[in-house]
Chains A and B, each alone.
Chain A
């Protein structure tokens, strides 16, 4: 396929970045460096294991947003979407964070390999389970022995590396084709990205599932749930859509998106966030309900730990975090976004988006941190000094991701000016 306009090369990239972007990128990197520095300082306060858990939360949070953006870009291409064309470019910039996230994973994996008892206890079969309220060692635990072929450091590192390579490769393909089309207007890039999306969606679904099993679910390697990959997917999409809202409104307020963004874009993305709010609740409820109802100890222990202490059965802080997720991650956004006026508001939508991204973080903390137990088998509390390092890790990694986005921002046109659906997007209406 070739465009009838293919010969027309329109415009060129600005010689310098749009006003303020370079300075903002520097600020983001500085904040990132401070966040990382503070997290490193946490090593001397709380020790390596707790900081590693914090770092893991930060990585799964920002990688989740990037994965969500990757899914959204590919879904856009595969369904030949129109209204989201003006937003897609910002997601494409967001994909630039993958390689940095991959790099930021290295210290965690290196630390886990250096001290094999640091994070994933199954890294070391000699791990004494008495340290976490159990008996014997990991190597003597039949539930690890059965899955030792998968749960070992080699496979973990391999799966993580392969996953990041696939995400980086897919991102590069999608970005290159989209950015190039701005100049040559060739339809072959639309077709190219549709093809990438077709196999990329399957590849991303598989690698995302495998990654979250390794990174988070295997922290408690006794636990299993077929829903886990879908749960992470739901969270990633919600967080990525929220990031999209924040970026769109920010660009609008800067003036860049004036005349580009209209209320219907916000309304449509608000509807998507609403739909995925329901989807997240559906997935999370189904997982909880089926485990609660069957009441099989080999599954219920995971939720019990997030409600009562293992040692004395006294309710712990995680019970309230769980209840907060129920009301805060479902009912509140659901009841807010159900009103169409809210979805049209450039004041309310970014606030809701920030809130949803924040609760996605709480959801990840809820999944990660209770796996860190004391010698009685009780989870460490939610509110404690170590949570400071989660905050600094999120800020640190976030600073790098925002910097990567802002560095990518001036490398392409503000919107995909030669995309065949750009006019449909610019005039998006009910």
Chain B
């Protein structure tokens, strides 16, 4: 390729450039200073524990106890206490696992992918989203571990040589789940922890200045000797970017494998090729739904409006709208191909979903996942915080029902009508699932009480005063 043209003069068109004035939204409002940001975020941890926190924490512990009761009864009695019966031998256990793992995947996905896409608005939500990921994976892990029945043999899931020469079926996506989820959990914790390092050091120094040596030592221990030197920051940025790069394919692969749990089968309603990207889109959808559900109350309680601005809420609502519409596209294509494929069993599975005994679940799913997000087309809706919060809960509900519809309706109507059944959860299953919201809440409450809910250094980097051009266009 010739390089002679490298010396051609710059085109005259550049002299005509005169952009229309349309400033971008500021990510930290009211021109808040760096000091204000530090005080605001650290203040949540340094201040006296508020009464509402104790009320919520006790309530969350109470709710979590339901899981403890459910699991204790299960372990003491056996998995027969769940409502499973032919032909539905897989129901709430896997529904709840996929529900929580979907939310769990979304946190890192939001954080890592938005980081790779250089979306600066992520700074206000990524820390909480990453925390949400880890806590959701904890909740998800409860179900596969305990559904094996004899939980003390759960270690057989791993390929550890044992005296019984029991070896795993490596051709099963369920076994891939074991590796994928455990790897994902590990990387998520690392990703979250690396991001926390500079903030833990700030807390160490502030507690030391305040004379609280115990807490200073604790935060200092976990801050790994962070001093904020140029070398530290350089290594930190590189490590964070690598972890974001590793997390992105990992998170996609994990939810893809979860979709394979179903799609590799021959079962009508499960065996469909669009499952992998459709599950990933659903994970982003439910993840943003959960982030909105958690962050909006947090924003109101701690008066974080300058850090989680209307622009952030707008962005999240639009992503919910986009991913909800993609999920709607997948529902439509599935239904269409069930007809187009002309397999009577496949066709029946979908007609049965929409008009059979579980039609109520199907229409809840459609209403919550396809219709609900369409409200976000309207600016007035996006600006009404209460409305957004309620709609985000609908998204969570809808995504739970999506898994229920896929799993239970496909199993309940077997190939032979003589094998048809109707699944209802037992009280033990209801207790176990209900309690996981308590487990999740306990962990999240501990997170907001003891760890910085937003990355302070990253927030400071997106303030207007951190911009060398001070927000002005530059030629």
Residues in chain B near residue A258, CB distance under 8 A: 5-6, 8-11
Chain A, Cβ-Cβ closest to B270: A294
Residues in chain A near residue B22, CB distance under 8 A: 1, 3, 187, 190, 420-421
Chain A, Cβ-Cβ closest to B337: A226
Q: Is B249 an interface residue (CB 8 A)?
A: yes
Q: Is B383 an interface residue (CB 8 A)?
A: no
Residues in chain B near residue A224, CB distance under 8 A: 337, 340-342
Beta-carbon contact of B5 and A187 below 8 Å = no
Q: Is A347 an interface residue (CB 8 A)?
A: yes
Chain B, Cβ-Cβ closest to A199: B377
Beta-carbon contact of B10 and A143 below 8 Å = no
Residues in chain B near residue A422, CB distance under 8 A: 17, 19
Beta-carbon contact of A5 and B264 below 8 Å = no
Beta-carbon contact of A226 and B274 below 8 Å = yes
Q: Is B76 an interface residue (CB 8 A)?
A: no
Residues in chain B near residue A283, CB distance under 8 A: 276-277
Beta-carbon contact of B475 and A423 below 8 Å = yes
Stretch among A169-177, A248-256, A314-322 lining the B interface: A248-256
Select the residue from A5, A146, A147, A190 with max chain B CB neighbours within 10 A.
A146
Residues 1 to 48 of chain B near chain A (Cβ within 8 Å): 1-2, 5-6, 8-11, 13-14, 16-22, 24
Beta-carbon contact of B11 and A282 below 8 Å = no
Q: Is A76 an interface residue (CB 8 A)?
A: no
Residues in chain B near residue A346, CB distance under 8 A: 1
Beta-carbon contact of B274 and A10 below 8 Å = no
Q: Is A291 an interface residue (CB 8 A)?
A: yes
Q: In the assembled complex, how far is the CB of residue A405 from the closest CB belonging to chain B, in whole angstroms?
A: 18
Interface size, A (range): 35 or more
Residues in chain A near residue B272, CB distance under 8 A: 226, 290
Stretch among A27-35, A156-164, A374-382, A411-419 lining the B interface: A411-419
Beta-carbon contact of B277 and A414 below 8 Å = no
Beta-carbon contact of A298 and B340 below 8 Å = no
Q: In the assembled complex, how far is the CB of residue A95 from the closest CB belonging to chain B, in whole angstroms?
A: 21
Chain A, Cβ-Cβ closest to B264: A293
Beta-carbon contact of A257 and B343 below 8 Å = no
Q: Is A311 an interface residue (CB 8 A)?
A: no
Residues in chain B near residue A413, CB distance under 8 A: 13, 16
Residues in chain B near residue A417, CB distance under 8 A: 13, 16-19
Q: If the complex has contacts A226-B272, A230-B274, A346-B1, are A5 and B20 also in contact, measured as CB distance less than 8 A?
A: yes
Q: Cα distance A3–B339 when bound, in Å?
A: 51
Residues in chain B near residue A209, CB distance under 8 A: 333
- Per a CB cutoff under 8 Å, which of A205, A296, A420 touches B20? A420
Chain B interface secondary structure, helix, strand, loop or mixed?
loop
Q: Cα distance A181–B5 when bound, in Å?
A: 30
Q: Is B370 an interface residue (CB 8 A)?
A: no
Beta-carbon contact of B474 and A423 below 8 Å = yes
Q: Is A259 an interface residue (CB 8 A)?
A: yes
Chain A, Cβ-Cβ closest to B475: A423
Select the residue from B249, B274, B340, B343 with max chain A CB neighbours within 10 A.
B340
Q: Cα distance A6–B264 when bound, in Å?
A: 58
Residues in chain B near residue A102, CB distance under 8 A: none
Q: How many residues of B contact A (CB 8 A)?
A: 48
Chain A, Cβ-Cβ closest to B6: A258
Q: Is A308 an interface residue (CB 8 A)?
A: no
Q: Is B72 an interface residue (CB 8 A)?
A: no
Residues 123 to 178 of chain A near chain B (Cβ within 8 Å): 142-143, 146-147, 150
Residues in chain B near residue A421, CB distance under 8 A: 19, 22
Beta-carbon contact of A5 and B11 below 8 Å = no
Residues 177 to 226 of chain A near chain B (Cβ within 8 Å): 181, 185-187, 190, 198, 202, 205-206, 209, 213, 224-226
Chain B, Cβ-Cβ closest to A288: B273
Q: In the assembled complex, how far is the CB of residue A156 from the closest CB belonging to chain B, in whole angstroms?
A: 14
Residues in chain A near residue B396, CB distance under 8 A: none
Residues in chain B near residue A350, CB distance under 8 A: 1
Residues in chain A near residue B325, CB distance under 8 A: 202
Beta-carbon contact of B252 and A3 below 8 Å = no
Q: Interface code B373-401, partner A: CB below 8 Å = 1, 0 otherwise? A: 00001000000000000000000000000
Chain A interface secondary structure, helix, strand, loop or mixed?
loop
Residues in chain B near residue A426, CB distance under 8 A: 14, 17, 475
Beta-carbon contact of A3 and B343 below 8 Å = no
Residues in chain B near residue A186, CB distance under 8 A: 20
Chain A, Cβ-Cβ closest to B2: A253
Residues in chain A near residue B9, CB distance under 8 A: 255, 258
Beta-carbon contact of B266 and A296 below 8 Å = yes
Q: Is A427 an interface residue (CB 8 A)?
A: yes
Q: In the assembled complex, how far is the CB of residue A14 from the closest CB belonging to chain B, in whole angstroms?
A: 10
Beta-carbon contact of B19 and A419 below 8 Å = yes
Beta-carbon contact of B14 and A260 below 8 Å = yes
Beta-carbon contact of A286 and B273 below 8 Å = yes
Q: If the complex has contacts A205-B329, A253-B2, A259-B11, are A282 and B276 also in contact, measured as CB distance less than 8 A?
A: yes
- Per a CB cutoff under 8 Å, which of B13, B20, B277 touches A282? B277
Residues in chain B near residue A252, CB distance under 8 A: 5
Q: In the assembled complex, how far is the CB of residue A345 from the closest CB belonging to chain B, in whole angstroms?
A: 10
Q: Cα distance A286–B249 when bound, in Å?
A: 14
Q: In the assembled complex, how far is the CB of residue A98 from the closest CB belonging to chain B, in whole angstroms?
A: 22
Q: Cα distance A225–B17 when bound, in Å?
A: 48
Q: Cα distance A8–B256 when bound, in Å?
A: 53
Q: Is A227 an interface residue (CB 8 A)?
A: yes
Beta-carbon contact of A187 and B20 below 8 Å = yes
Q: Is A48 an interface residue (CB 8 A)?
A: no
Residues 254 to 312 of chain A near chain B (Cβ within 8 Å): 254-260, 278, 282-283, 286-287, 290-291, 293-294, 296, 298
Q: Is B271 an interface residue (CB 8 A)?
A: yes
Q: Cα distance A80–B14 when bound, in Å?
A: 22
Residues in chain B near residue A254, CB distance under 8 A: 5, 8
Beta-carbon contact of A290 and B263 below 8 Å = yes
Select the residue from A147, A185, A290 with max chain B CB neighbours within 10 A.
A290
Beta-carbon contact of A291 and B273 below 8 Å = yes
Residues in chain B near residue A423, CB distance under 8 A: 17, 19, 473-475
Residues in chain B near residue A16, CB distance under 8 A: none
Beta-carbon contact of B14 and A347 below 8 Å = no
Q: Is B183 an interface residue (CB 8 A)?
A: no
Q: In the assembled complex, how far is the CB of residue B2 from the closest CB belonging to chain A, in whole angstroms?
A: 7
Beta-carbon contact of B1 and A347 below 8 Å = yes
Beta-carbon contact of B474 and A418 below 8 Å = no
- Per a CB cutoff under 8 Å, which of B14, B20, B271, B341 touches A185? B20
Chain B, Cβ-Cβ closest to A422: B19
Beta-carbon contact of A286 and B276 below 8 Å = yes
Q: Interface code B240-271, partner A: CB below 8 Å = 1, 0 otherwise? A: 00000000010010001000100111100001
A sample of 14 inter-chain contacts (CB < 8 A) reads A5-B20, A5-B21, A224-B341, A260-B11, A260-B14, A282-B277, A286-B276, A290-B273, A290-B275, A298-B341, A417-B16, A417-B18, A420-B20, A423-B473
Chain A residues with a Cβ under 8 A of chain B: 1, 3-6, 8, 10-11, 80, 142-143, 146-147, 150, 181, 185-187, 190, 198, 202, 205-206, 209, 213, 224-227, 229-230, 252-260, 278, 282-283, 286-287, 290-291, 293-294, 296, 298, 346-347, 350, 413-415, 417-424, 426-427
| Extra pairs beyond A3-B20, A206-B329, A415-B13 (11, CB < 8 Å) | A5-B19, A6-B20, A186-B20, A190-B20, A202-B325, A230-B277, A254-B8, A255-B11, A283-B276, A298-B341, A423-B475
8 tightest A-B contacts by CB? Answer: A259-B10, A255-B8, A420-B22, A226-B274, A3-B20, A146-B342, A224-B341, A227-B273
